[in-house]
Structure 1
């Protein structure tokens, strides 16, 4: 475990990254962003208080390559972005037909993030139901490598029909993470299906300055540690009990996992505070 607070927290070979969704939100100006900070410097500021941010504007429309390059250059060298994929690829009747949209997205500038590109989150509509053949066709379209750079993928499903072992097995077959929804109205599938965990927790409340009370923050921090060390936290909804059994760690720490956790929704004004409280519990106060 590193003692360098300028780096993301590590458990053996695993990295832990904690952040928020987006960085432009008026209620953060004052409670999070200092008075007088110009909007164009908000990413620069946020990236020095957090270790990752999920870009959500990409879900609604394309961004120019120079925009991704600008975001890359405004953030510390050890910072990482997760990116929400465009809804044009996921919000369609037949997912097998998404190839052109996927190709356009992965070649349209996102790779300009370079080493700061973390997982891509493919979020599906709450009404989208599981179809085994169609969903496997979609997973087969997701590129593992673009321009020589490895690309990680996560799928965020929200319809109860996905809560079955067949879906978990498909995700595991393709090495794609299932987004773990915490403190949420959406279904929770906590099965581990990839070499990393992607969690979005949505329970921040107004009457807690840090979004969550201390006990809840301690619990989420412990879950993150457990994931990163190769284990499975207790108290989460697992579909495939057999496949979810953790493997023993090898000498090369093959069982450790990178963890990406984002505080999303809930009482959004407190999400940065919740993220910073989790970072402090996991590795101490960031000094950038």
Structure 2
């Protein structure tokens, strides 16, 4: 049997009041929720970085609270994607990278850049941004040094040279353009495969990894995934992890030809259907199908 890449299945965020007493045990302190969730899943998206800068000490604490074989995905700030809409992105990108992200060290996974539904594809706007994105933490530190004077607490030097990956989540049909896919491949940036009825679910491969966000295929942020849906996703993820392509009538690519050949691909999957407390249980069900559970979760079964 061919080898497969690393498969990490988790949740988007971890601090949700409706999860308390349902996913989280009754009486669990809020400050202990990350520690608990990170022993059930091998990766979690950090949502707080999307809404505003975090302090370096916060990233350090998150590292200390999570297992050794754990990785965070980090949402890039909406200030860049939603407010500035990629206008003059260099300084705000430097501020983000200087804010303490480098303190994640080996636990730094992909950076997620999520764009609003009103944001249309424009190569002249997108290409300069993609060209700025650093692909390792040493390059990120050099860019972080260009932060502005408003940044009072900064981290500019990584503990070591770690790879940095980036993924783009689009929410407008104008991105279903071969030119956009080609641009992503040039800059080695992944296209997020987002499962929702609200915007395109595209499966073009553009990087050495795959990034999926499952928002609920029937109702945004709410509908869960039954056995048939989880089985289908498990098949697609297995194919990607073994260097192949997702196949079947429910798959859609902008470019008919297969993506760049790889022996294996790492796959990151995050459930974002949190409104009805489905996300952690759906993530657990998918991880078990792929034998990709966290060590502590597998031992508990």
TM-score, normalised with respect to structure 2: 0.84
2:49 corresponds in structure 1 to 58
Distance 1:266 1:36, change over 3 A: closer
Distance 1:117 1:102, change over 3 A: same
1:263 corresponds in structure 2 to 271
> After the TM superposition, which residues 172-211 of structure 1 pair with which residues of structure 2 at under 5 Å, given as runs?
172-203=185-216, 211=224
Q: Structure 2: how far apart are the matches of 1:264 and 1:223?
A: 18
1:171 to 184, 192, 214: 184
CA contact (8 A) 1:65 1:108 kept: yes
Which whole-Å deviations, capped at 9, do the CAs of 1:252-277 have from their partners, x for residues lacking one? xx421000000113644110000011
2:102 to 111, 133, 137: 111
Identify unmatched segments of 5+ residues in structure 1: 2-10, 248-253
Q: Structure 1: how far apart are the matches of 2:40 and 2:3?
A: 23
Q: Tell whether 2:18 aligns with 1:27.
A: yes
CA contact (8 A) 1:189 1:238 kept: yes
Q: Structure 2: how far apart are the matches of 1:88 and 1:286?
A: 33
Identify unmatched segments of 5+ residues in structure 2: 139-160, 297-301
Which whole-Å deviations, capped at 9, do the CAs of 1:85-106 have from their partners, x for residues lacking one? 0011112456251110111111
Residue 14 of structure 1: SS of its match in structure 2? Answer: coil
Which whole-Å deviations, capped at 9, do the CAs of 1:132-172 have from their partners, x for residues lacking one? 12110110111112233221101111111111100000001
CA contact (8 A) 1:54 1:262 kept: yes
Residue 276 of structure 1: SS of its match in structure 2? Answer: helix
The number of residues matched between the two structures is 269
Q: Tell whether 2:249 aligns with 1:240.
A: no
- The root-mean-square deviation of aligned C-alpha atoms, in Å, is 2.0
Q: Structure 1: how far apart are the matches of 2:25 and 2:272?
A: 21
Q: Tell whether 2:39 aligns with 1:48.
A: yes
Q: Structure 2: how far apart are the matches of 1:44 and 1:204?
A: 29
Q: Give 1:186 shift.
A: 1.3
CA contact (8 A) 1:179 1:200 kept: yes
CA contact (8 A) 1:279 1:285 kept: yes
Residue 122 of structure 1: SS of its match in structure 2? Answer: strand
Q: Give 1:13 shift.
A: 5.4
Q: Tell whether 2:290 aligns with 1:282.
A: yes
Residue 95 of structure 1: SS of its match in structure 2? Answer: coil
Which whole-Å deviations, capped at 9, do the CAs of 1:164-189 have from their partners, x for residues lacking one? 10000000100000111113411122
CA contact (8 A) 2:20 2:26 kept: yes
Q: Give 1:214 shift.
A: 1.0
Q: Structure 2: how far apart are the matches of 1:46 and 1:173?
A: 36
2:133 corresponds in structure 1 to 142
